[in-house]
Structure 1
Amino acid sequence: MTYYSVVIPAYNAARTIAETLRSVVAQSLAPAEIIVVDDGSTDETELAARQSGVEFIYIRQDNAGPGSATTRGFAHCAHPHIATVDADDLWLPEKIERQFRRLEEMPQLAAVFTLWRTFRHGEPDDGKGTVGPGWSRTTMLVRRDVALAVGPVIDPPGNRGDMVDWLGRAREDGHQLGMIDEVLSLRRILPGSMSYGRDPDRDRGYLEVARMAMLRRKLKNAGQG
């Protein structure tokens, strides 16, 4: 039998976390445990999660960023695979089952991702949202030993780009990442959320991620010289 843990970093997610949790337990292949890491929310995130009717492990920390919360969740996972999802996004029912099927077909893969489609908060998903490859926390199923080997998910300035950096480090370490060419996750468009729109202060995180990647390449090339 396949066992996996789910990690959900959450910050001021009272409006959405119950729906996220329900999409996790609605999977055709159910999780062995769900870990919600509350990153210092100031709203009723915990209450909304507990009122969802879903059983989960609750961990609270001082606000440090989604990467920090994800890393904290990784450390508490007890099963061989870890799936992650942001607290405002959703999974379609066969997401995890399809990902495990891909891992069986391609055992060399360290992690599997899926396409995702956008939908607007407060409106039902009509299937017409923008579709793209979800190289993201919301779509990831990763082998636990790989997640721990790659190391912490680092929060850059502005708290954007943490997974871009982490996935870049995973690839640099030689881990193969696969993409299922099918929409199996939904990305919520929510004004005020961490990923909503362009924001110079938040977007500077992407510049820092690029800078760190160039520095790692420079150090690697110097070591090979």
Structure 2
Amino acid sequence: MNHVTVAICNYNYERYLVEAIDSALAQDYPGTEVLVIDDGSTDGSRAVIEQYGTRISSIFKPNGGQVSAYNHAIGVLETDYVIFLDSDDILYPSAVSEVMRLFVDGNWAKVQFRLDVMDSDSVLTGTHVPHSEPPHDCGKLLLGGWLYPSPPASGNAYRVSALRRFFPIPEEGINRYGADFYAIYGAALTGPIATVPKSLGGYRVHNAHGETVSFANSEQINKAPKIFNLRWAILRDIARNRLQIELPPVFYDFSHERATFCSSVYRATLPTRWRWMTRNSHTYLHTIIANPFWGVKKKLGTLVLSSLCLVPYSPLSDFVVRYISNPLARRRAVGR
């Protein structure tokens, strides 16, 4: 039997850590191993981890950021497959079994699956990520600069040999975080991607209750575009030097452009909103109109919603921005 590691990277998430570890231990796939990498937590995480004893493996390292935790984990993994589970997310019991059915039938570099979005209290919101399913050959799209639709970190299972082709990743400065960016898109440069067309876990969105904007759980939405550009530049260097693959200097991704859109027009004056939409929205609109993963209906709907930001009634404009950027703005009363 092929063995799989659920690697849980944790930093100061004592509140959610038990849910994450328990969900990994509850997998119905017999060859599942659980590894927790604690990145120098200062809360009660260590005591939580130690209470599991030999049921899990654990590594306690000085704080270095998420990239450092991924680098360390990939260096010590002894299984052929891994799921990197964020310590505030969960896996459903059949997650490992479902991805392994695909891995054993094909030479996939990565198998991804949807995640149900939940709030900070573990209440399901009625939405999931991602909303689009990519083709198997995502590498070709990356060569054209298109970032393919992928779930966040916890919704991806990797062949470890694929990850080791481009990890370790530089850990310095602003690049301490975002390790899943390199794993998600780097994997597609090493082989085909498979998708399980259903939700196999839960993704927690923090500090967002439908009345705020949210981008990738970042509290500083205005920094997201700059960080993405830096990560793309680093990925290009790694692809060139380690994989002998040349990626274009610019990339296209609706999530990235959405962050720019939201930070530019949210709670802005009407002249500011009009100025941005008429002068600076070219790339944002391009990632909608030319999006290779969306159908016509979704493109038209997103264009109509975006145009509502130009109305003089600011409460409507701000609601539209929240609706586009924040899954919890679209929440339904699920599980209440």
TM-score normalised by L of structure 2: 0.58
Which AA in structure 1 matches 2:217?
A: Y
Which AA in structure 2 matches 1:131?
A: V
Instruction: Return closer, same or farther for 1:66/1:203 CA change in 2, 3 Å cut-off.
Output: farther
Conserved in 2, the CA contact under 8 Å of 1:9 and 1:39? yes
Matched, 1:196 2:212: no
Structure 2 counterpart SS, 1:152: coil
* Counterpart for residue 165 of structure 1: 182
Q: Which structure 1 residue ranges, 5 or more long, are not aligned?
A: none
* Counterpart for residue 27 of structure 2: 27
Higher percent of residues as strand: 1
State the structure with more CA Rg.
2
Question: Aligned pairs, how many?
Answer: 218
* Counterpart for residue 333 of structure 2: none
Can you list the C-alpha shifts for 1:77-133, whole angstroms capped at 9, x where unaligned? 21222221010000111111110111223x12112110112101224336x134326
- Which segments of structure 1 move beyond 4 Å, counting only runs of 4 or more? 153-156, 213-222
Cα-Cα RMSD: 2.9
Moved more, 32-41 or 197-206: 197-206
Conserved in 1, the CA contact under 8 Å of 2:49 and 2:58? no
Greater RCO, CA 8 A, separation 6+: 1
Higher percent of residues as helix: 2
Structure 1 counterpart SS, 2:182: helix
Q: What is the CA distance between 1:42 and its match in structure 2?
A: 1.0
Q: What is the CA distance between 1:61 and its match in structure 2?
A: 1.4
Matched, 1:75 2:92: no
Q: Distance in 2 between matches of 1:83 and 1:129?
A: 22
Q: What is the CA distance between 1:12 and its match in structure 2?
A: 0.4
The aligned runs of 1:97-136 (5 Å cut-off) are 97-105=97-105, 107-125=106-124, 128-132=126-130, 134-136=150-152
Instruction: Return closer, same or farther for 1:75/1:102 CA change in 2, 3 Å cut-off.
Output: same
Instruction: Return closer, same or farther for 1:144/1:130 CA change in 2, 3 Å cut-off.
Output: closer
Conserved in 1, the CA contact under 8 Å of 2:118 and 2:124? yes
Can you list the C-alpha shifts for 1:44-73, whole angstroms capped at 9, x where unaligned? 111123346782122111211112102211
* Counterpart for residue 145 of structure 1: 161
Q: Which structure 2 residue ranges, 5 or more long, are not aligned?
A: 131-148, 209-214, 248-336
Q: Distance in 2 between matches of 1:113 and 1:6?
A: 14
Structure 1 counterpart SS, 2:127: coil
Percentage identity across paired residues of the two chains: 18
Q: What is the CA distance between 1:29 and its match in structure 2?
A: 0.6
